[in-house]
Amino acid sequence: MVSRETSRRTFLLGAGGLGGASRSAADTRAVGATRRSAPGQPAVSVPGIDTDHRVRWTFETDTAATVYPPVRTREALVTLVRSRSDGESQYEVCALDAETGQTRWRRELDGRSTFPKAADGLVYVVDGEQLRALDANDGSDRWRVATGTLDYRYVAVGDGAVVVAAADGRVTAIDAAQGGELWTTEIDGEDRLVGPLLDGERVYLGGTGGYYALGREDGRQRWVARTPGEERAWAAEVQDGLLVGWSNEAVYGLRVGDGTQRWRTPHERLPPHPSMGTVTADTVFVWGQSLAAINVRTGEKRWTFGGDADRGYGIETDGDGVYFSVGDELVAVDAESGRERWRADTGTGNNYWGTVRDGLVYTVGRTRTAAIDVGSGDERWSLDFEDDRGLWADVVGDLALVATQSGTLYAVDRPSPLATAPLAAAERFATSPSGLGLFGLLGAGLLGVGYRRATRATAGSDSDAEFGRLDRLGGGPVTETYRERVRTPDGPTLVAETRVRDGVDAETRRAVADAVERWADLSGAADGVLPIREFDVGPDDDPVPWFRTPFVAGGSLADSWPVADRERVEVVSGVARALHAAHREGAVHGRLAPRHVFRETPDETRRDSITGDDVLVGDWFLAEVSADARDATDPYAPPERPQKSGGTPRAGDVTSPEATGASMQETDAASIEGDVYRVGALAYHLLTGAVPGPDPVPASDRNPALSAELDDVLDRALAADPADRYETALAFDDEFRWAALDR
């Protein structure tokens, strides 16, 4: 996948003089309070985790100016500032300390400029008729290259080269470190090239004549794909061997090797501009005559939304939802179905309304900026501009950034993704190194399902209920799980039905079938085990297993964390008792992770009285199947668990001090002690906000509210030597509850 930074966007620019200063959060105007989570929303107030938005600093120009969206270097945010004097635009590059907002350096430019780029300690900026490379540490010139007069340039940086596309048909590659020209190519008959897009072998561009591919090494034209008439084309992304882009009239999928057209999907009145579309791993979302979702592989138009009277701008997606502005409203629709989820009156009305990150939509309107929950549309935080007007909003790292038309830039600390991101919106965080360490198998499990947290009714009359498959809950490399409504003697009931994917090999299907049968037997004998209500494994020679479990409206710990201190303790206690009940039946879990722990109660009125009996543990007998099916992390792995043969230690894994090389399930004792370690790791994680490492610091060092007695309990559960741990999960639970609840 090839991506572009948000900063490629252009926007209407303000006017005024230049010069600026920063101030700390203590000097800023008042901000709105963070809202407490409603039932089913992401948890807040988790120890060790920042859960609030706070203004870290503001940067203010002396007089009205336009501050562009910045790029991030190692220690600074580098932004372009535009002002006007005597009717002329003036540009300046400013580097602001990311922690304090203080100006580290600033450089005036001689001519017109666009958004800067940053890579490998250099900042690249267009300056009139030249491209300049500035040292990211002090702003000094490293090199300048003449490029000619251009109204608009698009610049791409990658693999040691800077590629500049000129409107007159010239494409130039420049050595990123030294500034020497690597090659220049002129495309005959092309007078409006836009947006170089880079992959390992080629440079892709759009223009009035179609799409072009040049060699990365020599700039020679590899192929051209003409569009009908004079359709202006935009090259958006490379996905699965296809160049995906759009023109005024259609969306295209072209084979990257030779430019042949795999599909063309008509979609009228579609501006060839990056803000009018976005591409995910399997879908192109574009706004033209309507919002359309188009299959990346086939070009099939899956759904459309809205129309001319409901024209949207600035498409953003988190994989689960699609977000855009329509008039003065921000609209969210479901990415799978195109059904509208919610609308919020934000005062937005352009392409630069904001972005979505970690379960929150950051938006800017006329007089304020806000963070909105992706699931409900409820406002979680806001900041008023008083007499100022908003210009743009973006997210860079841990900061939400908002600019106003007067030339003020606000840098706002964002909450930890752990405190805000629901499963459906957490993919970016969950697949990052820190996210893998924190959540482990979040959303990527074999059969463990992360349930959507929206409150859903489980009862009603047969006459008004929709039966059958309702929506997809999740899946992994082997299975997919769907929410379904079925008829029962007690009335309509929601269930989660899991089926093996098509194409899974027979050996894996047999292993899953065996696990399902054993899980079903266990759920009838052990309390606290997520029950299998119905299942079928198919014929012995060709098993195709499927099973149904209750739809647990409270969700899993992968969806949201408990809010109250007592509830976190009760969740751990419930897990420990479920493990002990299974151990008494001769079963071990072997892969306990947040996604396997479900809470039956989503009702806020019962939160304070929740007990361990409301906790269910799922995904039994699947440790070895899961490990073989996917090279995934195991967040609570005990020290004695070996790495996969030939594998590299991953985030959340712990290197074995004993280096036994023994399988986790060779003996019941070792497996039981491994489960004891895992429930201890879950307790440490819930109470401190951190996954314990090979030699974890005392829990009270991370959360001073915890007692020394609780430190001792967790230290024993997490002992490196299995023989030093509690003999049973129940013994751990007894001492854990006494230390945690002071009884």
The tens digit of pLDDT for each residue in 122-159 reads 999 989 888 999 999 999 999 999 886 554 457 889 88
pLDDT value of residue 252: 96
Residues 400-457 pLDDT 10s: 999 998 899 999 988 765 555 443 333 333 333 333 333 332 333 333 333 333 333 3
Print burial letters for 565-589: b (CB count within 10 Å at least 16), e (below 16): bebbbbbbbbbbbbbbbbbeeebbb
Confidence of residue 370 (pLDDT cuts 50, 70, 90): very high
Q: For residues 424 and 422, give the distance between their C-alpha atoms in angstroms, rounded to a whole number.
A: 6
pLDDT value of residue 536: 85
Confidence of residue 633 (pLDDT cuts 50, 70, 90): low
pLDDT value of residue 416: 63
The helix/strand/coil state of 360 is strand
Output the pTM of the full model: 0.58
333 within 8 A of 339, measured Cβ to Cβ: yes
- Say which range, 20-24, 99-103, 634-638, 717-721, has the weakest mean pLDDT: 20-24
Confidence of residue 564 (pLDDT cuts 50, 70, 90): confident
Q: What percent of the chain has pLDDT over 90?
A: 36
Residues 155-185 pLDDT 10s: 889 889 999 887 678 899 999 999 999 999 9
Confidence of residue 573 (pLDDT cuts 50, 70, 90): very high
Residue 285's Cβ-side half-sphere holds a number of Cα atoms within 13 Å equal to 25
**Is residue 365 within a helix (H) or strand (E), and if so which, with residue range?**
none
Residues 376-396 pLDDT 10s: 888 888 899 888 889 999 999
Q: Which is more confident, 69 or 561?
A: 69
pLDDT value of residue 448: 36
Domains and CATH numbers, the chain: 1-23+60-136 (no CATH), 150-274 (2.40.128.630), 312-415 (2.40.128.630), 433-741 (1.10.510.10)
The helix/strand/coil state of 514 is helix
- Say which range, 215-219, 332-336, 489-493, 598-602, has the weakest mean pLDDT: 598-602
Q: Is the pLDDT of residue 508 over 80?
A: yes
Overall average pLDDT of the 619-627 stretch? 70
pLDDT, the chain, mean: 77
Torsion from C-alpha of 671, 675, 676, 679, nearest 10 degrees: 170
pLDDT value of residue 1: 37
End-to-end CA separation in angstroms for the chain: 55
Tell me the angle at which helices 668-688 and 729-741 cross, rounded to the nearest 10 degrees: 20
Residues 49-65 pLDDT 10s: 455 788 999 999 877 78
694 within 8 A of 681, measured Cβ to Cβ: no
Q: Is the pLDDT of residue 278 over 60?
A: yes
pLDDT value of residue 579: 95
Residues 314-326 pLDDT 10s: 899 988 899 998 8
CA distances in angstroms from 70 to 66, 139, 384, 409, listed in the order given: 12, 15, 22, 10
Q: Is the pLDDT of residue 681 over 70?
A: yes
Q: For residues 742 and 727, give the distance between their C-alpha atoms in angstroms, rounded to a whole number.
A: 22
pLDDT value of residue 70: 94
Q: Which span out of 283-297, 432-446, 466-480, 540-554 was modeled with the highest average pLDDT?
A: 283-297
Q: For residues 355 and 274, give the distance between their C-alpha atoms in angstroms, rounded to a whole number.
A: 14
CA distances in angstroms from 624 to 528, 621, 634, 644, listed in the order given: 22, 8, 12, 11
Q: What percent of the chain has pLDDT over 70?
A: 76
pLDDT value of residue 36: 27
509 within 8 A of 526, measured Cβ to Cβ: no
